[in-house]
Amino acid sequence: MRSNVHLRLPPAVRRSLVKLGRDVSVARRKRRITQAMMAERIGVAEATYLRIERGDPTVGIAAFAMTLFVLGLGTPFAELVDAARDDQALLLDVERLPTRVRARKIPTGI
């Protein structure tokens, strides 16, 4: 039985996960690492690792993160949504700046 995630996943997201899985497979083969070795190094069952290479959206993000780490690709999730590099959020911050700034009144009778 398929998870609801498969039904609700936008096609662009699905394609990106499949591409990620293919890219992981290529990176693994270039390093001459077997699927069984990868599964052992990541700490998952071989069947789970095969799902990673297929881009299965139900595999936990930690398994994907460990896969990239084991392949020597660092920790790319750390910078993925970095607030300092989020151009859209930075633009929204600029748009929300007040047009005028007033000094606050300090109470005098205390």
| C-alpha–C-alpha distance, residues 67 and 55, integer Å | 12
What's the token pair of residue 97?
A: 């700046």
Cβ neighbours of 21 (radius 10 Å): 20
With a threshold of 0.85, does the pTM exceed it? no
- Residue-range domain boundaries for the chain: 4-75
Report how far apart, in Å, the C-alpha atoms of 1 and of each of 5, 6, 13, 48, 60 are: 12, 11, 21, 16, 18
The DSSP code sequence of 38-59 is HHHHHTS-HHHHHHHHHT-TTS
pLDDT, greater one: 51 or 108: 51
| pLDDT tens per residue, range 61-99 | 999 999 999 999 988 888 887 878 888 888 888 888 888
| C-alpha–C-alpha distance, residues 5 and 56, integer Å | 10
Which fold would CATH assign to domain 4-75? 434 Repressor (Amino-terminal Domain) (1.10.260)
